[in-house]
Chain A
């Protein structure tokens, strides 16, 4: 079974530009979560999508947005890039459930997109 794929793997942008990152989940997985990883802040949750709906959102500014398509593929967008947005952006997929149970599904991470903002 193919794993989570993310494109592109590397991106270099300049301040003020915007960027779109793409994630294809494991086949059959309907939940997609996005995380930002930096040396200073570690891994931080951005948002989670299930059935094209954003269900959870982390503490990030509105410049960070996302969406999910009917085939569960997801994109995240960062507008008006800042130097501090340089990070590894990770997508994780899981089966998910329309009515979350007590326990959290295991999340499997993609290889990430390394974004550098100059």
Chain B
């Protein structure tokens, strides 16, 4: 079992709809959870981080964490073509600076 699992996609969503990206992790000791976006040929850029169970909203983005189910998700509201990218989920253990990444989900927003 991989430490962090994501559906590789591609996930195709019409413009203006909600895109839902999911991630599960195996280490119950995981404490910090990050979502990065990576455009083709570019480096990952941080979208959001979440530490506590529940929802965290930032603009059109909402991260959801459920530690009991070992599940973290990212919702993108009012999806735009510019949101088309690969979304990477990353998880760390307590205090560690080592990010463990999923394989990423490729998202395509169709105009």
Residues of A within 8 A of B (CB): 31, 33, 35, 42-45, 48, 50, 55-56, 58, 88, 90, 92, 94, 96, 100-112
Question: In the complex, are the beta carbons of B31 and A43 less than 8 A apart?
Answer: no
Whether A56 touches B44, Cβ cut-off 8 Å, given contacts A103-B31, A104-B32, A104-B92, is no
Beta-carbon nearest neighbor of B44 in chain A: A109
Residues of A within 8 A of B104 (CB): 42
What are 14 sample pairs from A and B whose C-beta atoms fall under 8 A apart? A42-B103, A42-B104, A43-B44, A45-B100, A48-B98, A50-B97, A56-B96, A58-B98, A103-B31, A107-B34, A107-B46, A107-B97, A108-B46, A109-B45
Residues of B within 8 A of A56 (CB): 96-98
Contact with A along B14-27 (1 / 0, CB 8 A): 00000000000000
Residues of A within 8 A of B101 (CB): 42-44
Contact of B97 among A44, A55, A88, A109 (CB under 8 A): A55
